[in-house]
């Protein structure tokens, strides 16, 4: 049995920089048509010069692979209409981070003050630049995403023409508000479709499954599976693949996030087949994102085969999701 996917897209990808960039960028470029590149470097990507320079480094790192990096910048209060108009040709979206909630996010937003940033949202509406938000409160870790939902709703109602992407949703509450507002969309990761908090900490701590937002309860995972597997057009795949060296994961202060880029499509094929929904896989990994972002990526056919594949124990210095496990699908081109 074989399966072809036309132009798989990774709508949220961390490529890091320097040596780590050279290691992981080719692994995404080999299997995806393009990726939406996150801006949380140190220092962050905040200017047109930053964007162009980083894109050049990415293209250099992937050699001759057919892969287009679509860029983002950090949301910051100095943005205005003229700056955004000048940036529009270089970026696909703007990324808003909370302060100190995820890797390298201690550079910006400490709270949403709509009185100070309303003009930026209005400019983004006019220029049709989507807003991607990774946001959680600083409450109890299992409630952070749920408690942020009223802010998503407030922004969605106040700026109805602003396209808002709720990034890497992990809860049933996020699923429930998704269809309440036509300008709300969401992304879902591979690992949040697979794991719950029990997988991370039930018996012995599994550092290579530790991610932010933290994996939640079984009922939350079931809600995510429901909308992903059934081809809901308001959700799309992103790997949120984020590499950290093994010694940073297996340490006293374990770095958050999961590395999935080179094995995401194989694992998704297995998951969708298991649930008898293989016909919806291309919607999730390509077609939905094309509609949401109004983009047309270059044609790139990835062929998967129903053939056993053992996930490598390590790529360079980075341990992948489900390392050493056998899965039932392989990529053959």
Q: Say which residue, 293 or 135, is predicted with more confidence.
A: 293
Looking from the CA of 165 toward its CB, the CA atoms found within 13 Å total 27
Residue 57 confidence class, pLDDT cut points 50, 70, 90: very high
Looking at residue 101, what is its pLDDT?
47
Enumerate the domain spans of the chain. 2-331
The catalytic position among 10, 50, 173, 240 is 240
Is residue 151 classed exposed, middle or buried when 0-12, 13-18 and 19+ CB atoms within 10 A define those classes?
middle
Q: Give the gyration radius of the chain's Cα atoms.
A: 19
For domain 2-331, the CATH superfamily is: Metal-dependent hydrolases (3.20.20.140)
Q: Facing residues of 326 across strands?
A: 310
Residue 99 confidence class, pLDDT cut points 50, 70, 90: low
Token reading at 259: 């590395």
Helix (H, G, I), strand (E, B) or coil at 278: helix
Looking at residue 103, what is its pLDDT?
44
H/E segment holding residue 20: helix 18-31
78-90 pLDDT, tens digit each: 899 999 999 999 9
Q: Say which residue, 259 or 179, is predicted with more confidence.
A: 259
210-219 pLDDT, tens digit each: 998 999 999 9
267-281 pLDDT, tens digit each: 999 999 999 999 999
Prediction pTM value: 0.93
Given a cut of 90, is residue 147 above it in pLDDT? no
Residue 114 confidence class, pLDDT cut points 50, 70, 90: low
Q: Give catalytic status of residue 17 as yes or no.
A: no
What mean pLDDT value characterizes the chain? 92
Angle, nearest 10°, between helix axes 48-61 and 18-31?
70
Who's near 323: CB < 8 A, 6+ residues apart? 208, 311, 312, 313, 314
Looking at residue 333, what is its pLDDT?
72
Looking from the CA of 308 toward its CB, the CA atoms found within 13 Å total 4
């Amino acid at each position: 049995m074989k399966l072809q996917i036309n132009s798989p897209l990774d709508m949220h990808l961390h490529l890091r920089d320097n040596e780590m960039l050279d290691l992981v960028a080719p692994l995404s470029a080999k299997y995806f048509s393009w990726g939406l590149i996150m801006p949380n470097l140190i220092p962050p990507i905040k200017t047109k010069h930053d964007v162009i320079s980083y894109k050049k480094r990415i293209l250099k790192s992937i050699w001759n692979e057919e892969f287009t990096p679509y860029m983002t910048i950090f949301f910051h209060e100095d943005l205005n209409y003229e700056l955004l108009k000048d940036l529009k040709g270089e970026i696909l979206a703007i990324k808003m981070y909370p302060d100190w909630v995820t890797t390298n996010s201690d550079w910006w937003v400490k709270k949403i003050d709509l009185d100070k940033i309303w003009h930026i949202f209005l400019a983004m509406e006019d220029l049709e630049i989507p807003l991607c938000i990774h946001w959680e409160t600083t409450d109890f870790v299992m409630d952070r995403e749920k408690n942020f939902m009223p802010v998503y709703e407030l922004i969605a109602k106040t700026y109805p023409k602003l396209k808002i992407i709720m990034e890497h949703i992990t809860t049933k509450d996020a699923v429930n508000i998704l269809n309440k507002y036509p300008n709300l969309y969401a992304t879902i990761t591979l690992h949040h479709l697979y794991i719950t908090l029990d997988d991370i900490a039930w018996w012995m701590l599994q550092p290579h499954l530790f991610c932010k937002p933290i994996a939640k309860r079984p009922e939350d995972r079931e809600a995510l599976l429901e909308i992903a597997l059934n081809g809901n057009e308001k959700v799309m795949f992103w790997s949120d693949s984020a590499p950290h060296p093994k010694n940073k994961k297996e340490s006293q202060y374990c770095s958050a996030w999961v590395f999935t880029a080179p094995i995401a499509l194989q694992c998704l094929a297995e998951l969708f087949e298991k649930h008898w929904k293989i016909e919806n896989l291309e919607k999730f990994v390509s077609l939905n994102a094309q509609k949401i972002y109004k983009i047309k990526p270059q044609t790139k056919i990835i062929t998967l085969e129903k053939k056993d594949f053992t996930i490598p124990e390590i790529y360079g210095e980075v341990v992948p999701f489900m390392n050493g496990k056998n899965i039932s699908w392989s990529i053959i081109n």
